[in-house]
Structure 1
Amino acid sequence: MKEIKTYSQEDTVEFGKKLGMLLKQGDIVCINGDLGTGKTVLTNGIAWALGINEYITSPTFTIVNEYERENISLYHFDVYRISDPEEMYEIGFEEYLYNGGVVVIEWADLIKDILPQDNIWITIEKDMKNGVDARIIRVEFNGERYREYEEKLGSGDDKKR
């Protein structure tokens, strides 16, 4: 598990870019955290690294936003309003998972039972020590597919203050 600390939205975006540079077709990124912790901010960094220059908004009411580029697609889910994981199948969730794009899922813990075991699991927490509005980002790389990512991501807390 990697633990990274960020001290601003810009830091969180930069970490998202760093992670996004590693991602390939078929990767699944699961992001968890309370409201306002920076899940969509992190997703913006991932999108930028994939060559998506649009501002990413959370698809809270549509559940999924699709961003197509010539070499890769990003499927950005926000499952906050899902009351039963089975609802995901009604929108073709499995097709998104296995369609060759990068899948980013906010509030992934709500549908954990239907997710593939191989994934990148991210938890973001606010860290309000000493009056600083920082974030602790914990990243777990689950499965053989992601083994090299952990090594390439770096040594953890590289934003010391």
Structure 2
Amino acid sequence: MTATWSTVDTPIGPFTAIAADDGAVLASGWTAGPDTLTPLIAATLRPAGLRRLPDLGPITRAVQRFHDGNLAAIDDIPVRQRSGEFLTHAWDVLRKVPPGQPVTYSEYAALAGRPSAVRAAASACARNAAALFVPCHRVVRIGGALGGFRWGLDVKRWLLAHEAEAAR
């Protein structure tokens, strides 16, 4: 399979998405190209080749609209990730965390049905290949500390502030 990719400018830097033929996001994040994203895609989903497009249609529009304040714009974009049963379920749960209402890693573990699996919940965030569309930035430490984020704490801070402001 050959996947397509595109980069769009956002207020917090370039954002690149890689999409399957059917329009599902395979990987995405705040980077200027696909090189850092491709290794994040599960081996069984990793494309044999990549083709750059100026625009990925609904994906590009959703990224632009989200950054412009339409937080729901990302909700209907399909995402395809593969891993074990818990991680796959945990990524689905992340898509249901409302913008402007971050949860702690402990709360996230409970939402995913395994309240004692806080480390596994944190691992789901760390292994998430489809940043923004699977909003792992909405998970914080107890007390509100940011925790980690593959794309940097400045990006996570901006996203949380943007969502808090737009959700008002």
TM-score, normalised on structure 2? 0.31
User: Using CA pairs below 8 Å that are at least 6 residues apart, which structure has the higher relative contact order?
Assistant: 1
Instruction: Determine which structure has the larger strand proportion and give its number.
Output: 1
